[in-house]
Copies of this chain bind each other. A is one copy, B any other.
């Protein structure tokens, strides 16, 4: 209970970033979980395919920095639920191209609109300049510059 030293955990960036990330993901998580039974890994894959169209698992890995086993499992789940299909590349048979089905597209479009609204709700708590600055700094910290 007693203050023992002056280190501020609330100022430590990795901690602060984690808390902010967790808190800010909570309500959105509930939506994709309740509505589609998805995990974080799964909506990420879904969004990448929704945004970029057909991609291989490898390309998704490069873009998300998720480990390949996570992607493999997320893809398997999404395929099982008929939200995406795979197509083997005949020129290089190690590769599989992943594409959303109509149902997958629909799920993506739905969740995308939720995400847009959700993001706007977060952003409106700050001035447009501050939010722009925040995004820029986060991209830099995430090495997504």
Contact = CB atoms under 8 A, between A and B. Distances in A.
Interface in A1-15: 1-5, 7, 9-15
Given A21-B18, A24-B14, A7 B51 contact: yes
Residue with the greatest number of chain B CB neighbours at <10 A, chosen from A21, A24, A59, A137? A21
Total copies of the chain: 2
A96 to B, nearest CB: 14
A106 to B, nearest CB: 14
Given A12-B119, A50-B4, A115-B7, A23 B55 contact: no
Contacts of A7: 47, 50-51, 112, 115-116
Given A9-B51, A14-B119, A19-B144, 8 more contacts: A5-B112, A13-B134, A14-B21, A16-B144, A20-B138, A122-B141, A125-B140, A130-B133
